[in-house]
Structure 1
Amino acid sequence: MVSYNGLFPKCQQVLKEKLSKKFQKVCGVIPKQGHSESLEKIYTDLYITEGECVDVSTEHEVRQIEMASKKKTTEGEKTIKYTDIFKPIPGKDIIRRVMTKGVAGIGKTVSVQKFILDWAEGKANQDIHFLLPVPFREINLMKEKEYTLMEFIHHFFSETSDLIFSTDEKYNIAFIFDGLDESRRRLDFEHNEDIRKVSEPATVDILLTNLIKGNLLPSAQIWITSRPAAASQIPSDCVDKVTEVRGFTDLQKEEYFKKNIDDQEKTSKIITHLKSYRSLYIMCHIPVFCWMALTVLVSILTGGESDAFPASLTQMYIYFLIIHAKHISQKYKVTCNKDTDICDQNAILSLGRLAFQQLEKGNLIFYEKDLRECGMDDKEASVYSGVCTQIFREESGLYQKKVFCFVHLSIQEFLAALYVLLNFRRKSVKSVFPNFFRRERGTSQLQSLLSANRLHELHQTAVKLALKDEHGHFDLFLRFLLGLSLDSNQKRLEDLLPQEGHCSLDTKKTVTYIKKKIREAPNPERCINLFHCLNELNDQSLMEEVQVYLRKAKEEREDLSLSQLSALAFVMLMSEQDVEDFNLGDYGSNAKSDEGLLRMLPVVKISRTVKLQGCDLTDSSCSSLAAALRSNSSSLRHLYLTGNTQLGDSGVKLLSTGLEHPNCRLETLELQECNLTDSSCSSLAAALSSISSSLRHLDLSKNKQLGDSGVKLLSTGLEHPNCRLETLELQDCNLTGISCSSLAAALRSNSSSPLTKLDLRVYKLSQSGVEPLSALQRDPAYKLTTLE
């Protein structure tokens, strides 16, 4: 792909030197002027999996992390190293296009940086001759005009300006497009025109779609990274391999802290503290949060104040902001408050306003136009990004154009919550910023918070806002807003904004309101966030009731209320212990119902074995269970539903929508005594025929209305090549020898069937009726070994 005229070795070396210099350093953990760390020294391997996650989770990314922390490695799930991104997979000799997904701050960009550095230093992937990393945030800055592909490449890499790329050369080029979620260009793969010549001019979006499709430089390798919600912009037929960065495992968290702290005693104290607060330790799955926690906790230890370690997310972010505000003052040697060494409070407030105004738009990346729309001029933004480098960054693109961003979405949400609370406080405290807060334009959901005159009104509006968003996009914002309202945290805010004064805020009404909402049984995922909110408000009453309950012997336990069941789900999710075996019947009669199961659904998702025998469930519960089976975060492998006589055919039909889903990994399904008829067999046959079928053991015994026609329908699934069933139980159903003939025919039709055990203990079956199956059992060409 490169015209080789002696320039290739020289250009490659210049490019490697440039990339090595650019990517060998990262920002230091504890901010110091001019301080940076060697990436090689502090890099910690991440947990990266290979394989498609079919559904994109629309949950708030922190919620995804909380669920992922409980997810177990699934059978067949393959982990890979960042160096092997382009390594072939079974069935594909050449991997040209790779999509790497992961939530914000999970380590995608650092993995890219390490990949580039290893290549530039000659340590890995030397079969690539030219590695060209182009972040989408810089592509956004290109002018709206037409470029040839060569002009596009030269635009970013002047080192290649003497080279001519074509489609018929032998040298390998790899592009890395980092941050698809930050792209502001629409990649229309369906309607963009096709171009095949590198000399043909086109708009940037057309160049990108043709490069990814393979119309331009068809042998070039392409690595795209993206937050999950944006990954679908690239069609599946334009992706050869999917990987997912899941952040740090528990062992990798500890390795990270050990690499970044020289003092072993400090390291031990920090790890012990984080482990003692589960919500903080779970957040450490996100490398950016590890860095934040390290910044805060090392600073506190250095000051000899280990007793003041933060115990909640809100406290962690308050400390983080205070530490960097002090750093600003020291770095720029400006006049500050003599008690706190903190200055330039307008910078914090301006960033809060920006965070607030952009949160509802979902923007993590800002450009000068966005800042002007939020009331910040370019000079002001540059000053703030210069002094708040660990909170708000400015990155220079080509031609000195600027890109601004908060270091992580959670910091943006924290500052937005801070802005809302300070806006509320100014109404009851004589503010030193009387002209700073102004009436926000528009009538957005977030802006409605600014009209509240009483704290409980503000909180109730925010709770309603969070519950209304079924995907939880305001969950973390709500946690921060409530945590910042706590009296003890208000006092900490005096360190950040001392002249604002302390405003005592009573949160008792808010606690009562949240408990009322928990009783009303909202979406179970939103309910879990309400317990996080109670934690932020230092109310542990419901969780303590559950802990007392769990300490009792089973025979001494009284029924749990529905609110307590939700608290139980939260306690189990936050526990260090994996939930291997969950039995709903262990928690009283209220639990044995559709409502009880709904409350415990988050626990169902993280359990390998779920026992729901005799729980009076209806088809409504099957809809919930199907949703759990479809979930990316589901660990469910064995499901027992025996004795739910109201479940019926409609329930099995709903459940089968989960069984057919590619995310489903269920291996055992027990449906004894569920009042099933032949109709259920049609739904189950479709599930067994599904390309993603994973069911190994199916028990349909004691369904008296299930007859020969049902078995005939079920046999269409058994004879399908996708069927993985090994054991089928049909005891005490309404079967005759006709069913045996149907089953035998299906197994002979599917010579690859793994079915080895059939249990047909049925009163009406004679020996002559069983003969077709007995003959199959005697035939060594077939796998059927057990016939009862």
Structure 2
Amino acid sequence: MYQMKISNPYFVLTAADIIPEIKIINNGQKLEDNLKSYQHNYKDSILAQTRKMGKKMLPGGRQQEEELLVEHYTELRVVTNYQHTEGQIQHEMLVKGQEHEKLMKDSYRNKCERITPSQLFRICSESMTFPRVVLVSGVPGIGKTTMVQKMLYDWIQGDQYKQFSFVFLFKFRDMNLWEEPLNLPEMILKQHSCLRDVIEQILGRPSTVLFMFDGLDESKSPLDFTVNQICSDLRKRTSHVNVVSSLMKQTLMKGCSVIITSRPSALDQMDWSCIHRCTEIMGFLDEDRLKYFKKQFSDSNGALEAFEYVRQNDILYTMCFNPSYCWIICSVLKQHFTGSQNESSSCPKTLTQLFVCFLNNILTNHTLPGSMDLKGLLCKVSHLAFKGVCNKLLVFTDTDLKQQKIECTQARSSFLLEFLVQEESFQRTMYTFLHLTVQECLGALWYFLGSEQNILDILKSEQNQDGRLEILIRFLAGLSHPPTSYPLQKILGPFPVEKQVEILKWLKGLAEYSIKHLAQDSWSEKDKNLDPLKVFHYLFESQNVELIRETVGTLKCFTLENQTLNPVDCYVLNYIIVTSGGITELQLDKTQIPMDGICKLKEAFCLCTSISLKFNNIGDEGAKYLSKAVQSPNSKIQKLE
């Protein structure tokens, strides 16, 4: 992992240059008289679609309603010390959730510079430059699209970004539909024909124009920064990705400003030398999460109880950094913590249980017209979701749906709109799942509803080597547990027993393979995707006590060295060791266990005879938790080092 910093800035300012630039930022650009009316008309033409945002309804509620953006926008945490890992083989949601937990610590938080979207183009204090090209990274559902929409809205209102006379927002999912070669003016006019008479005049002043490109991860074509693809002629027709690359390299419209948003997983193709400021949307910190819960619950006591329940569950609490996850968790917990009866005992504890509750709410509260087959329709949608996960597809068209034999009328039904977000673009309809994890859960559900494909073919495929199937596999493990999947089986009918057996057989073989190689210390680089800790997360989702005891229970010595254990890993490791009945020797040297991780492992420590925690800076608090474990009347600890 390496840290990306501002590099190759467009220009460096002297102190004498800074004051005029700041005046422009505060007071705005001087606009030619003939452009003023065009700017006014342009703002009017995009205001209606910019000022509203779709509001998520609780599962089974009425159709999505549009609400004012300014009323529902939540300020996000943006940090400027963005880090990117080449060739990441772990699921990005898990990686970023772990990194976010670091940000929760005061010592780490102080190292991060927090900025607001309105400060993205402010001067960089170290290099004394005004950045022209800004990257905004963030995992799915974190708020990238909403952020750029709010930026455009603020510009229209004249509240922010006054240094720009014109701001143009492009979405890669829209540009995927443009098959013919286009030049930059044609790209703009394709969306905003009202500027036809003055487009050359607008583009003739690059420093007054901001281009925002949203969703690089949704682009069907990668950015190409090679010399033969970069263009400098406004009139040259080429692919839209080449236009974007050229704007970023500043060979086209030199001096213009560019914002590009993306998931971390799509950034391996990036030419970092042309990025002047790298930022990341971190989502909610602890205090933000509590505020969000209070907004979602009409009953303040219910909100506090639900939040405290989530805080005690590291799996759910780590997920809450993401606004979309936060909404899903709140929508599920409302039925448990609202009203006179508190049903916290039946609350979800695992990722699978949470999403089973979420899907169950939708299925329970929806009735289909007599001609529609609920299970058949859900099977088709689940297959679409599965293919999307395997091929990294997030955006689907009517053609994709027809391939799954989903008719347009079905796709637009209130039932499917609980799963799919529908968006019109250039006379074509596009669909995305409510959230990537909803897509992954449905993808796993397809295996139990209608898949004839052998699970081993899926799990051994090359598609699993970059971590894209990691969450889907957790859902497969969780859905194989009958008590977890029972709410869905009650509605959809029993899952085939052979499917559940096949998953458990594969999971048992995976655990035994992992433990065998762990004992022999014979891990190779290609085995990284099947390391014991990852397998323990699968076993945790399965909640299968017998399986855990048959596999992990045979271990006499468990060694994890030179890995970073976060609180969620410690939470899962504790569950596995306690459920298996204990391990004779536990070696966790050089694992950077945090103090709260020691606390979460306290029960597991008591069931071990020998514990090694060498080269871990557990601190005084961690030592206190260890002392309590040693002094526990049920402790088996004989050796601690």
TM-score range, shorter chain: 0.7 to 0.9
Match of 1:87 in 2: 122
Q: CA deviation at 1:570?
A: 6.3
Matched AA of 1:364: L
Matched AA of 2:116: K
Note if contact 2:294-2:303 (Cα within 8 Å) is conserved in structure 1: yes
State how far apart, in whole Å, the 1-side matches of 2:566 and 2:30 are: 63
Q: CA deviation at 1:209?
A: 2.5
Is 1:229 the counterpart of 2:265? The answer is yes
Paired residues, what number? Answer: 540
Q: CA deviation at 1:528?
A: 2.4
State how far apart, in whole Å, the 1-side matches of 2:257 and 2:448 are: 49
Note if contact 1:71-1:635 (Cα within 8 Å) is conserved in structure 2: no
State how far apart, in whole Å, the 1-side matches of 2:29 and 2:251 are: 17
Matched AA of 1:535: F
State how far apart, in whole Å, the 2-side matches of 1:20 and 1:504 are: 51
Q: CA deviation at 1:532?
A: 2.1
Matched AA of 2:90: E
Q: CA deviation at 1:246?
A: 2.0
Q: CA deviation at 1:510?
A: 6.8
Q: Give the secondary structure class of the aligned counterpart of 2:417.
A: coil
Distance 1:61 1:494, change over 3 A: same
Show CA shifts across 1:694-720 (max 9, x none). xxxxxxxxxxxxxxxxxxxxxxxxxxx
Is 1:15 the counterpart of 2:21? The answer is no
Q: Give the secondary structure class of the aligned counterpart of 1:165.
A: helix
Q: CA deviation at 1:516?
A: 2.6
Is 1:153 the counterpart of 2:185? The answer is no
Is 1:292 the counterpart of 2:321? The answer is no
Q: Percent identity?
A: 24
Q: CA deviation at 1:199?
A: 3.5
Is 1:217 the counterpart of 2:253? The answer is yes
Match of 1:38 in 2: 68
Is 1:114 the counterpart of 2:150? The answer is yes
State how far apart, in whole Å, the 2-side matches of 1:164 and 1:150 are: 7
Q: CA deviation at 1:106?
A: 2.1
Which residues of structure 2 form unaligned runs of 5+? 1-27, 519-526, 550-554, 572-581, 599-613, 620-641
Matched AA of 2:162: Q
Matched AA of 2:417: T
Task: Give matches, 1:225-304, under 5 Å.
Answer: 225-301=261-337
Which residues of structure 1 form unaligned runs of 5+? 337-341, 424-436, 440-446, 450-457, 545-559, 577-586, 609-624, 629-633, 638-788
State how far apart, in whole Å, the 1-side matches of 2:445 and 2:618 are: 39
Matched AA of 2:208: N
Match of 2:200 in 1: 165
Note if contact 1:322-1:495 (Cα within 8 Å) is conserved in structure 2: no
Q: CA deviation at 1:111?
A: 1.8
State how far apart, in whole Å, the 1-side matches of 2:617 and 2:112 are: 12
Q: Give the secondary structure class of the aligned counterpart of 2:430.
A: strand
Match of 2:471 in 1: 476
2:454 to 433, 442, 448: 448
Note if contact 1:606-1:636 (Cα within 8 Å) is conserved in structure 2: no
State how far apart, in whole Å, the 1-side matches of 2:94 and 2:617 are: 16
Distance 1:254 1:287, change over 3 A: same
2:492 to 489, 497, 503: 497
Distance 1:501 1:173, change over 3 A: same
Note if contact 1:3-1:169 (Cα within 8 Å) is conserved in structure 2: no
Q: Which moved more, 1:53-62 or 1:271-280?
A: 53-62
Distance 1:512 1:64, change over 3 A: same
Note if contact 1:606-1:635 (Cα within 8 Å) is conserved in structure 2: no
Match of 1:99 in 2: 135
Match of 2:9 in 1: none
Show CA shifts across 1:293-340 (max 9, x none). 1222224555867343222211111121122234543xxx7349xxxx
Match of 2:418 in 1: 390
Match of 1:306 in 2: 343
Q: CA deviation at 1:77?
A: 2.7
Q: CA deviation at 1:64?
A: 0.6
Show CA shifts across 1:206-259 (max 9, x none). 322222222332222110001112224331222111101122212221122223
1 or 2 for the larger relative contact order (CA 8 Å, sep ≥6)?
Answer: 2
Match of 1:317 in 2: 355
Match of 2:173 in 1: 137
Q: With the length of structure 1 as denominator, give the TM-score of the two structures.
A: 0.61
Distance 1:18 1:309, change over 3 A: farther
Show CA shifts across 1:354-378 (max 9, x none). 1222322121222344444x43356
State how far apart, in whole Å, the 1-side matches of 2:35 and 2:205 are: 12
Q: Give the secondary structure class of the aligned counterpart of 1:246.
A: strand
Match of 2:18 in 1: none
Note if contact 1:195-1:216 (Cα within 8 Å) is conserved in structure 2: yes
Q: Which has the higher helix share?
A: 2
Note if contact 2:329-2:354 (Cα within 8 Å) is conserved in structure 1: yes
State how far apart, in whole Å, the 1-side matches of 2:373 and 2:131 are: 53
State how far apart, in whole Å, the 1-side matches of 2:333 and 2:537 are: 22
Match of 1:181 in 2: 217
Q: Give the secondary structure class of the aligned counterpart of 1:219.
A: coil
State how far apart, in whole Å, the 2-side matches of 1:123 and 1:525 are: 51
Distance 1:259 1:158, change over 3 A: farther
Match of 1:201 in 2: 237
Match of 1:376 in 2: 405
State how far apart, in whole Å, the 1-side matches of 2:278 and 2:513 are: 40
Distance 1:512 1:186, change over 3 A: closer
State how far apart, in whole Å, the 1-side matches of 2:238 and 2:332 are: 49
Q: Give the secondary structure class of the aligned counterpart of 1:70.
A: helix
Show CA shifts across 1:722-745 (max 9, x none). xxxxxxxxxxxxxxxxxxxxxxxx
State how far apart, in whole Å, the 1-side matches of 2:479 and 2:120 are: 42
Distance 1:299 1:113, change over 3 A: farther
Matched AA of 1:324: I
Is 1:486 the counterpart of 2:481? The answer is yes
Show CA shifts across 1:502-552 (max 9, x none). 9996787677556534523364984223222222222579999xxxxxxxx
Match of 1:418 in 2: 445
Show CA shifts across 1:575-595 (max 9, x none). 69xxxxxxxxxx999666xxx
Show CA shifts across 1:7-48 (max 9, x none). 423332333334442233332342433534433333322222
Q: Give the secondary structure class of the aligned counterpart of 1:128.
A: coil
Q: With the length of structure 2 as denominator, give the TM-score of the two structures.
A: 0.73
Note if contact 2:356-2:485 (Cα within 8 Å) is conserved in structure 1: no
Show CA shifts across 1:485-513 (max 9, x none). 11212321134414879999678767755
Matched AA of 1:122: G
Match of 1:367 in 2: 397
2:512 to 516, 521, 526: 516
Match of 1:351 in 2: 381
Match of 2:543 in 1: 538
Distance 1:118 1:256, change over 3 A: farther
Q: CA deviation at 1:482?
A: 1.4
Q: CA deviation at 1:173?
A: 1.3
State how far apart, in whole Å, the 1-side matches of 2:505 and 2:406 are: 40
Q: CA deviation at 1:416?
A: 1.4
Match of 2:431 in 1: 404
Distance 1:258 1:370, change over 3 A: same
Matched AA of 2:352: T
State how far apart, in whole Å, the 2-side matches of 1:573 and 1:346 are: 37
Matched AA of 2:226: E
2:533 to 528, 532, 548: 528
Q: Give the secondary structure class of the aligned counterpart of 2:269.
A: coil
Q: CA deviation at 1:465?
A: 6.6
Matched AA of 1:394: Q
Task: Give matches, 1:459-470, under 5 Å.
Answer: 469=464
Q: CA deviation at 1:198?
A: 2.8
Q: CA deviation at 1:484?
A: 0.8
Larger Rg: 1
Distance 1:122 1:33, change over 3 A: same
